[in-house]
Chain A
Amino acid sequence: MKKFQYIVAGIFFGLVLTKGEAISWYRMQEMFRFESFHMFGIFMTALPTGTILLFMIRKFNLKTFDGEPIEMPVKLYHHGVIIGSVLFGFGWALTGACPGPIYAQIGSGFLVTIITLLSALFGTWCYGYFQKYLPD
């Protein structure tokens, strides 16, 4: 039952993405063409907020609500970070969605984006299938 909190967190995140128009195909075109500050404003305020709050977690050695020590995220480099991200950028420009917004786009009523989700699942599966033949 404790896992219920993650549904609530997801609803919160989905609502913010949707009301902030970060799931909008229009907003993504505008962003990639540098024709509005809106999406850049979102990133430029999201990042310092995350950075400062993570810094405070470390500084005050905060624990999770269950009292576990918090492990900071670590991201490792491999060449796929560049190759994969560029391919993802192409898909982002086409669909107007990164993975989070795909779910919210379906919820917001554009049911055809279910196909976007199914294609994304198929893409993930294909990466798994071809992983051993691809440069890492």
Chain B
Amino acid sequence: MASTQNLVCKAIILKSIISVDYYIFGVLKINMNWIYEPWPWYVAGPLIGATVPLLLLLGNKKLGISSSLRHVCAAILPANISLFKYDWKKESWNLLFVAGLFIGGYIGGSVLANPNPIAISLNTQNYLSSFGIESSPGLMPAELFSWETLLSFKGFLLIVVGGFLVGFGTRYARGCTSGHGILGLSALQWPSLVATASFFGGGIVFSKFILPYILAL
């Protein structure tokens, strides 16, 4: 626990260093607050795309994050299931990569968290507030994603059933948004186009026809 406190202290110190106005030669004012701002799509998008060649150059690794779920199953509970009978240790880079994702999420979403509510479109704001969901600071609505709601039927559907479908569906499709949507499409693989159209289609149909009933619970 001491190390967590240490991390929190460091984050607070970092914050106090960043949010002060600095004066260079007593005139030029510099403020580092921009570091908390979210990144626009034209910055995030190209960097996401560049991760594909980066991993190939680092060691012929193929971006694909749902594979990490398979490796964890193979490591912890292979249970003589053919899908999990392989040498997962050879794919340990993938587990290190997702450990990095966790740290990147901590840096981006906690240390450098945007203090303002997320700037989603007015239409979406109105739609969500009709279900009592307001946009508050943070990337997820606390009204839905908290330990209290987990115990409700709504929270169970959103978190437990939702997570199950993500794990089951991505393995059935042998890839997710990263493996099919970004890596596969970048490499012009037509099965990945079918996958991308299917998961977008699934998400659009579900959001339009089923999700409103769940949010209204």
Partner-B contacts on A (CB < 8 A): 2-33, 35-39, 41-51, 53-54, 57, 62, 64-66, 68, 70-78, 80-100, 102-113, 115-129, 131-132, 134
Chain A residues, CB < 8 A from B138:
108-110
The 0/1 profile, CB within 8 Å of A marked 1, for residues 9-34 of chain B is: 00000000000000000000000000
Q: CA separation between A73 and B139, bound complex, in Å?
A: 32
Interface status of B213 (Cβ within 8 A of chain A): no
A132 to chain B, nearest CB (A): 8
Inter-chain contact A94/B106, CB cutoff 8 Å: no
A/B pair count, beta carbons within 8 Å: 513
B140 to chain A, nearest CB (A): 5
Q: CA separation between A53 and B182, bound complex, in Å?
A: 13
A63 to chain B, nearest CB (A): 8
Inter-chain contact A112/B147, CB cutoff 8 Å: yes
Known: A37-B41, A115-B150. A49 touches B50 (CB 8 A): yes
Interface size on B, as a range, is 35 or more
The 0/1 profile, CB within 8 Å of A marked 1, for residues 95-107 of chain B is: 0111111111111
Inter-chain contact B101/A128, CB cutoff 8 Å: no
